[in-house]
Every structure is written in structure tokens, then in C-alpha cells.
Structure 1
Amino acid sequence: MAEELRKAGFSGRILDSSSADFAAASRRFSAISEARARYISFPKTPEDVSTAIVYASKAKLEIAVKCGGHHASGANSVEDGLIIDLSELRGVALNKERTEVTIGGGCLWEDVYTFLRNDGLACIGGGVHNVGVGGHITGGGYGPLTQKYGMACDNVISATVVLADGRILRASDTENSDLLWGIKGGSSNFGVVVKLVLKTVPDPGPWVFRSIALSPSDLPTIIPRFVEHCNNNEKKSEEVVLAFLNFVRGPHNEPLTLLNFTLCGSVDKFSGLFKYFLEGLNPLGDTTTNYPSLVELSHALDELLLAGPDRIATAGLPIVKISSKLIEGLWQRWLDYTNSNPDAVNTKIVFELHKTTRHRPEASCLRVTEPVHNMLLISAEHNEAKNDAVALDWVHETAQLVRQRQVKDWGKDLGVWANACMLNETSEDCWGLNYPRLQKLKAKYDPTCVFNRFFPIEPRRSRI
């Protein structure tokens, strides 16, 4: 393959199973998502991506696209196929007016934040430094500035996409606008995003991250306060970026609740917030860390998110509101699962509350258009491959129970957040009423389903 690709003009590296760094290049954030590809390519240019796609199609090799490698479903790996690893496409440039940043499709958020920091700027991106920009944005993109500026995909000006037939197109509001709509939430279903132009904003830092550990005996007190804060939008502000309620195990496997806050500004201005949540409680631990910019803030959750077992199954759900019954039910379900499965003690459930804002939700294919909503993340973590199926089932069943509870309590089901889900959810779960339109778009840009690793969309042409 390498020789044929070179003759076709491919300029990047190509690995196979005999290459010294093949095993390292095959690793992913979750070992569940790893597969043994036949080849791994590292394109240096959009033209390289085009060459690799055309070759793979002729050779009948299935394609997977890898940016940061965080998606736990296996969408970024493929057995006996070709992986297009975008890690060489990591250029970042600022326009003269400093209002737009152009980034390569293989960038990580730390690349972008570090580049913008010297100009006192930021963009609407993710909260964890080593998440890939391309996958995060094309999956929607929640982050520290979502409550003020919308989701990451809401702030895309244009994208350069390599299609299934090798063509390289620019998508914006004025050219190929249907393609732009599709990749803003449709992930890699329509092509490989090799370049993005994003809006910039002033970095509103400094930032504060506070983490408070509470015992299970505090739950009857903290749950009503958390519910009130979540459901009363007047209590939220742009400065209280995120409030997390986490179910985790402590250093001796004891069940704990972590109450985490990501805040914008000096910690002193949030004394009223902390009094509201903590009055009458005796935390087991309480740490506050100050961060000057998004670069440092993007490392705040390293210990919680990046340490632990290699095998992870996840689900993410947009939720309208929460209820005490929902939290209590999930707490008991988490306790039962982790108590009965010693290999799963690192499993987490995270309520992520923020005053999410959607800017022009009609301009993306995301299912969730609620102007105010929150997120629930479920992460089943373990070490042994024999427990993969159990973890996948538990995560899926938990997500379904939450969706049923949302309908019962609030009369709304916002589906699932594809960027955090395994492939046992359906494409209709991800995109809802937008799915038929996505099917027509698939028929236009990828009728033979060259890109089919991420919640595949079945092409359907319009009837005349």
C-alpha cells in the first residue's frame, strides 16, 4: 500500500503491523475502542487525505478517522481497514483582525488555547486539553464558554471537508451550506474535516476550579439544593460556568459525592453560591485552584478524567431539568453496580449543570435545540475485557431509564449526545427529527457510505 500511495502523491507516514510505532498509534482513550487496522496513515495536507480516501475506496478498505481518539465507541478505529490519523494537521493561525482562528483538523484544544493565549483570546471549545478539535466540534461541542456563546459548532465560520470521492470542498453559510449544517453535529458522516475557521472571543479569565468531597450522609441536604440550582435559571449566571455533581469512589473505594465548580473571576465573588450549597455541611475535602487562562483550566479535570482503568463505556444525555427522584435513583443504581462488580469501582455518573445557550440552533443538525438544558454523563470504567459487555449494557440501560424519567417528569426526551455514546444507541436517538434530512444529505455527499463508523446514516434520495 505504501508504495501505491506514494506513487499517487501521498506525502505522510504510513504504518502497518510491522512498524515499530504501530501499537502506540493504535491506542485510544478507551481500550474498548481499539481495533487492529491494516494500515494507519498520517496525512500532512488535505490532498494527502484525498489520496488516502480514494485509494482505500478502490482497495475496498473500510476507513476510520482519528483526531484526538477520545470517542469510546470505536468510531475512530477499524479492524483490517485504513485509519486516517489527522495528528499531523495541527496548524493554527489568527487573522489580521484577530476575530477568526484557522485550525487544522488534527488539533487538540490545548494547541488552540495555547496559540491564542498570548493575544488574550479564546474560542468556544472543550474543557479538556487533549480532546481533538475536529471530533469535538463536529459532535456539537460543550465547554467552558458555552453558557455565553453557545456550543462549539455554533461558532464555526467555515470548514474544509474532504469528501468520499476525494473532492475538497469549503463549507460556509454562502457555499455548500447544507454540508456545513451536516457536519455541525453529524460528525464524520459526510467527510473528513481538515480545516476549521472559528470565531474568537476575549478570554474572560482568570478562572477558579473548586472541588468539594461530601459523604453519602450529606446527600439528603445537597440534592434539593442542587435540584433548585439546576431548575431555577435565575440562579445561574455566565460566571458560574459549570457545576458538577459526581458519584465517585474515594481512595479506599468508599462512595463519595464530589461537588465541583468551574467559575470565571475571583473566588471571593462566589461566597453566596458556596454558602447556599455548603451551609450546615462538613466536607471531607475542599480544594480551590486558580487558573490564569483556558490553557491551565483545561487541565483541571485531569485527575478525575484521565486517571483510572483503560476500558471505558460512556453515555451522554442532554436533560431538560432534574428531580430528586432522578438523582436518588441514579445514586442507588451506581452503588449497586459498583458494589457488585469490583472491577467497576472507578465508574462515574456526572451531572453537568450550565446555562447552555444555543445560537442559531437551526444552523446545525443537533437534536437538542432547547435554549436552556444540562448534561448527564455516565462512564462505566473497568480493567478486564470480560466485563465490556456488562459495562455496555449497564450504560445503555441507565441512559434509557434517564430518558424515560425525563418524559415522566418534564414531558420531554432530548435524545442522546452522540459524542459521548456507544454505538448501541440509534442514529434516530442522536438526531431525532433531523435524521431524514441527514439521510438526503448522505445520499448527496457519501452515497456509498464510505464514512460509516460514527452512528451511520442510511442514504435516502428525495422522491421526485
Structure 2
Amino acid sequence: MADANLAALESLFAKHPHITYVTPSSPDYTSLRKIFARDQEAIPLAITRPKSAADVSLLVKFAVSNAIKFTIRTGGHNLSGAAFAQDALAIDMRDISYVNVSRDKKTAKIGGGILQFDLATALDEEGLVTPTGAVGSVGYVGWSTYGGYGPLSRQWGLGVDQIVGARLVNSEGDVIIADERLLKGLRGGGGLFGVIVELEIKVYPLKNASSSLFIRRNGQVLTGTLILDSQDLNSTFKKFNAGYLELASSGMPKELVVQQLIVNSPNGKAMCVAFMWSSEDLEAGQAWLKKIEALATVVMNTVAVSTVPGYLQGNAALVPESVHGEGYTHNFRKITNEVADVIADSLVKMTEDPGCMFVVHELKGASATPNASSVFGTRDEHFMLEILGYALDIKNRETAIAWANDTWAALGKTESDNLLPGTYISLDRPVLKPGTAPLSRLYGSNCRDVLALKKEYDAKDVFSYAVPQLKNYI
């Protein structure tokens, strides 16, 4: 069957030679097959690179008419490797990458395959920003349409909150413009209802005033990493979080986001704090930086005036390109002393491999504002944990997974009122068996809207490999 499907595809590509593709026997296959999740061993039927919405429409119509299953790839960072499936056509969107800023510079139309670094760079040239995640090689559409936590989200909202318009290819292969009902579903439901070929998103000016302390240009931020004294990692983590909890109790500006990371450095385990100040008032940012520095002993400080692309470039060294293993997640209202104790104890046991990490995100400010026009499920203020049981060396895979699982389980036994029932879909472990998990854990009370839209726009489950696979939820 696979041979027949491949022959049919090659006949299609012969008629449309501008649409590039590779098969498992092609010289470029290995480089195009590379994704974040090394454990995903599925061999796709072929990998194709459409150049336009019309190309995607053609591919979907052909696949549906020939009963060929297909997957969609943007950045390829889905933690379970959903970009590929065995003997399915992989539609790699990365050649559909553009940024067209509106005349009033309030919105931009972007290609469905654009990566976050490319988007940030294009906007920076215009003195503009929009919320992105922390990793430049992640696809923007996948990041934003499933939620979109990031260093600018406290001020301007999550990724889903930036979406004001969309074009997508539906289950019949037609290019359609999303109405308000469908837009609500895309804001949290991602690729469940079609292949998103274009988004229209909000963008924001970042104008820097003159100053005697800084050489200014539009688009500058104050950002970098604080590396803390980690000789006693247990004590450092608890001390920092106790201090941060007290500092936050008096209120913090929306321009400030700090993200905690525990990584395996060449010198051992290290606790890092990523600092982002996204305001033209950089002097105020320096004052807040001093307050964050005072929470623990800092052994290195890389915080400086930079740009959002510069921030993403700086993070690239901290995040491996691909890993073995599994990730886990929890959402907590607060990092209480109890939660901090459990985390601190687990960090000492964290597998010593550069792929193994622990990350703390905070949802607050504009991100925590209820938004009835999205199906994103968790709007309560909270801390989202990435418990990343990953390894670069496959020999460390099992111990890394065991560490992450044990940490996740121990955290799940802490005070129940502090543990939110919902989890972040982009980090939640995939449900592989039908009827084994409630959809409400991803979408809360919005799960009915998600199911209704799926029935309306994709009743035959053409986009069966889209995240989440709804057939496995109840």
C-alpha cells in the first residue's frame, strides 16, 4: 500500500515540480527528518515542502482523495514527535514563511511555517515586537495556537491572545478564512480543524526614549541570564523562591518576566534565572534587576540591553536541538514552601545529562485575563512546570525519564488546592489509548466547544494526527 501511495504522490509532484519533496531514500531525507523528539522513529511516506496556501490545498485534496494519511510540521518541537507518523505524508510548512506588517503597524500577517526567531527578527526591523516563546527554532503557529507562554506574555498576553485572523485549508482541501467561531477554536485548538497557512497577529511598538545611560534604538529590551551559586542547589532553589514569593506579594510590573531554569552545565548542575524587561524605561528595569539579584547569590550576570532576536539567540545555547526521553508538567497556583521542598529535593537527583532540565514559567498579568474568545483552558494565575526527563546520550534515557516521572508523581501529592486540574497541552504527555483521559484537563469548560467545532469542520477526522488526538479523550 505504501508503495502505491508513494507512486501516486510522485506522479503528483511530477506535475507540480515547484513543490519539493524527499523520500526515505533521498540524500536530504535525514536533515529534513530531524525533529526535537529523537525517540519518534516513524518513517514517513515522504516529506514535502509546499510554498503557498494553494500548494497545501492541492496536497490535502490529493491525500484525502487517495486515502493517504498526513501530518503537519512547522518547527518540529512537539514533544512526542507528532510531526511524523508511519507511512504518512509529512507536510513541512517551513517554506511558507513571511511577515507582512499592516500600514498602521498594529497587526502582521505571517506564513504558517514561520519560526519564532524569523518572526522576531522581521518585526525588530520595524521596531515592533509580539509575544513569542523562549526558543527561536520553534514554529510560531504551533506555539501560539495551543497557548503560547513566553517572556512577553505578562504584558501583552499569551500567543492565543495575539491571533486576530487566520486562513486555513479545511478537511475538503479548500482555503477558507476563519470566522469568529472558528477563530475561538484555533485559539487553543491549533491544528484540530485544518492546516493553518496564515495568521494575522497583533504587534506592538517598543519605543526607547533617550537616556544618558543607554544607546537607544526602537525595539530594545533588557534581558539575559543570572547564574546563581548552585553548590547547594537545594538551598538555592528554596531561598530564591521564598524571596520571589515575598517580592511578588507587593506587586510586580507587567513588563517584568523571570523564568527559572535548572540545567546541567559543563561545571555541574546550575540554577539560572532568565530575565526579561520589555519597556522603554530601561532604568526601571535595572532597578528591578537589582531586586531579583538580591534573592540569591549571583555568580554570573549576562543581562544587558538587547533585542527579542538577541534574547532568542542567547537561549539557543541552553536548549538542545534534539533529545531522547519524555517530558512531564504540572500547574501550581503558587510555589509554596511544600512545593519548593519537593522540587529542591528532586533537583539534587536530576539526571546528569545536558538534555535533562527543569523549567518554571509564570502565567500572570495579561495572560491570566479570562478570554471568552479562545478555548485555552487555564487562565488562573499559576506557575507551569516543565519537568524534562530528556537525555542527549541514549544511555541516560531511562534514568532521565524515571527522574521526571518520580518528580511529577511527588509533586502530584502536594496540597491539592494548590494544584490546578488543567495542564498545558504542548507539554502534556500524549494520551495513546482511547477513552483514557478527560478532555477537560486540556480545555476546561471549553471542551464542548472544541468537540462541536471538530464535528462541524472535520467530522471525518481528516486531521487525525493533530494534537490532541480527540479520539483518545472522553
If the TM-score is normalised by the length of the shorter chain, which range does it land in? 0.7 to 0.9
Q: What is the match of residue 214 of structure 2?
A: none
**Relative to structure 2, which stretch is displaced further, 213-222 or 97-106?**
213-222
Q: What is the match of residue 437 of structure 1?
A: 449
Helix, strand or coil for the counterpart of 2:317? helix
Aligned CA distance change for structure 1 residues 64 and 211 (closer, same or farther; 3 Å): same
Aligned CA distance change for structure 1 residues 157 and 233 (closer, same or farther; 3 Å): farther
CA distance in 1, matches of 2:161, 2:409: 28
- For 2:306, the aligned partner's letter is P
Matched-pair contact (CA < 8 Å) for 1:67–1:107: yes
Q: 4+ runs of 1 displaced by more than 6 Å?
A: none
Matched-pair contact (CA < 8 Å) for 1:367–1:415: yes
CA distance in 2, matches of 1:257, 1:2: 50
Instruction: Deviation per CA, 1:125-168: give whole Å up to 9, x if none.
Output: 22322111111111111222211111111111101111122122
CA distance in 2, matches of 1:123, 1:239: 13
Aligned CA distance change for structure 1 residues 346 and 216 (closer, same or farther; 3 Å): farther
Aligned CA distance change for structure 1 residues 205 and 404 (closer, same or farther; 3 Å): farther
Matched-pair contact (CA < 8 Å) for 1:439–1:459: no
Write out aligned runs for 1:110-259 (5 A).
110-171=117-178, 175=179, 177-203=180-206, 205-217=220-232, 219-220=234-235, 223-230=238-245, 232-241=248-257, 243-252=258-267, 254-259=268-273
CA distance in 1, matches of 2:442, 2:81: 17
Instruction: Deviation per CA, 1:164-185: give whole Å up to 9, x if none.
Output: 22122111xxx2x222111111
Q: CA deviation at 1:4?
A: 3.4
Matched-pair contact (CA < 8 Å) for 1:10–1:51: no
- For 2:104, the aligned partner's letter is E
Which consecutive unaligned segments of at least 5 residues does structure 1 have? none
- TM-score, length basis structure 2: 0.85
Aligned CA distance change for structure 1 residues 22 and 7 (closer, same or farther; 3 Å): closer
- For 2:344, the aligned partner's letter is W
Q: CA deviation at 1:389?
A: 6.0
- TM-score, length basis structure 1: 0.86
Helix, strand or coil for the counterpart of 2:220? coil
Q: CA deviation at 1:436?
A: 2.7
Asked if 1:311 corresponds to 2:324, the answer is: yes
Helix, strand or coil for the counterpart of 2:459? coil
**Relative to structure 2, which stretch is displaced further, 298-307 or 384-393?**
384-393
Matched-pair contact (CA < 8 Å) for 1:213–1:258: yes
CA distance in 1, matches of 2:182, 2:295: 53
Aligned CA distance change for structure 1 residues 72 and 259 (closer, same or farther; 3 Å): same
- For 2:235, the aligned partner's letter is P
Q: What is the match of residue 450 of structure 1?
A: 462
- For 1:257, the aligned partner's letter is M
Aligned CA distance change for structure 1 residues 355 and 2 (closer, same or farther; 3 Å): same
Matched-pair contact (CA < 8 Å) for 2:240–2:296: no
Aligned CA distance change for structure 1 residues 205 and 28 (closer, same or farther; 3 Å): same
- For 1:27, the aligned partner's letter is K
Instruction: Deviation per CA, 1:194-216: give whole Å up to 9, x if none.
Output: 00001110136232213223224
Q: CA deviation at 1:385?
A: 4.6
Q: CA deviation at 1:187?
A: 1.8
CA distance in 1, matches of 2:283, 2:106: 32
Q: What is the match of residue 364 of structure 1?
A: 374
Equivalent residue in structure 1 for 2:416, among 384, 407, 412? 407
Asked if 1:44 corresponds to 2:58, the answer is: no
CA distance in 1, matches of 2:138, 2:397: 23
Helix, strand or coil for the counterpart of 2:389? strand
- For 1:310, the aligned partner's letter is V
Write out aligned runs for 1:58-77 (5 A).
58-77=65-84
Matched-pair contact (CA < 8 Å) for 2:225–2:272: no
Matched-pair contact (CA < 8 Å) for 2:390–2:397: no
Q: How many residues align?
A: 445
CA distance in 2, matches of 1:169, 1:390: 47
CA distance in 1, matches of 2:147, 2:61: 28
Q: What is the match of residue 388 of structure 2?
A: 379
Matched-pair contact (CA < 8 Å) for 1:365–1:434: yes
Q: What is the match of residue 85 of structure 1?
A: 92
Task: Among all aligned residue pairs of Structure 1 and Structure 2, give the percentage whose two residues are the same amino acid.
Answer: 23
Q: What is the match of residue 22 of structure 1?
A: 29
Aligned CA distance change for structure 1 residues 129 and 280 (closer, same or farther; 3 Å): closer
Q: CA deviation at 1:43?
A: 0.9
Helix, strand or coil for the counterpart of 1:179? helix
Equivalent residue in structure 2 for 1:262, among 273, 276, 294? 276
- For 2:50, the aligned partner's letter is P
Which consecutive unaligned segments of at least 5 residues does structure 2 have? 1-7, 207-218
Instruction: Deviation per CA, 1:230-251: give whole Å up to 9, x if none.
Output: 473534212322x233222332
Instruction: Deviation per CA, 1:274-308: give whole Å up to 9, x if none.
Output: 5555559544x31224243211111221221136x
Matched-pair contact (CA < 8 Å) for 1:160–1:193: yes
Aligned CA distance change for structure 1 residues 403 and 184 (closer, same or farther; 3 Å): farther
- For 1:326, the aligned partner's letter is V
Q: What is the match of residue 338 of structure 2?
A: 325
Q: CA deviation at 1:121?
A: 0.9
